[in-house]
Copies of this chain bind each other. A is one copy, B any other.
């Protein structure tokens, strides 16, 4: 059982050297300007204790971590059936930005909501009369999860991602081609790049994780924020597809529901115990935080976090 921030600092020290072996994401300036040796963590247990180490208040963008939040939101708003009309449930050995299976499989549905094509399909389900209302609904949801009303997206990051999101536009048109989306592609892309550009720190992520760890209930008040069945579905996807095409290895080596992003963030969920937020922008070759992964491996060894 994690008892002090000091313990976390020691683990960070052990994990830190591996960050030299990672690489920063380079496709937008906001990511390529990060500090490769940053590594920080926050852990929130379900009794309200919070431990942290490193520069845990530093803001970073959610990137792919947002995929699990949009999924959770859409499951809450429109339900299981409608979401899974548009996206499958199967892990895939392909990279997150692969289009191959979209063509080769008989069903043209993206395989799961954690790859880009699938996440776009889910984002297309955001409800609201117009773009701003869709956005408002979603960002409020994220604020409730994080218990932080100041959360918003970084306009500069969103804009630079929007400008260069050619592959994601290709996915959107693939979805249109196969009848999985019939709205405006540029609006969808704007919502998608905004959600990726939401800024949080490790504390925010730990708090979000704690809600998922607590079956959807606020860990302090016990009030339901999201239904239990939604957290179970999300936790399952985080296990089978949360860490890109290294999810299987992460399940073996760490064994907790987790979702990473190319900003270097990792949202971790230890059911009935902890929410975890990690930040370490140096990435391994599959796009996961190399230091964050190491840190979670060390934590699992010390605190036996695995659900398996």
Question: Which residues of A come within 8 Å of B, CB atoms?
Answer: 88-94, 98-105, 111-112, 166-167, 169-174, 176-177, 185, 232-233, 235-237, 239-241, 245-249, 251-252, 255, 257, 271, 306-308
Contact = CB atoms under 8 A, between A and B. Distances in A.
A180 to B, nearest CB: 10
State the 9 A-B residue pairs at the shortest beta-carbon distance, nearest first: A92-B93, A91-B91, A170-B173, A166-B177, A90-B248, A166-B176, A169-B173, A89-B248, A170-B170
B103 A93 contact: no
Contacts of A111: 93
A83 to B, nearest CB: 11
A307 B169 CA distance: 37
Nearest to A177: B166
A171 B170 CA distance: 7
Contact of A177 (B103, B104, B170): B170
A177 B164 CA distance: 8
Given A90-B246, A170-B173, 17 more contacts: A89-B248, A90-B245, A91-B248, A92-B93, A99-B102, A99-B103, A166-B176, A167-B177, A170-B171, A170-B174, A232-B255, A233-B252, A236-B255, A239-B239, A240-B247, A240-B251, A241-B248
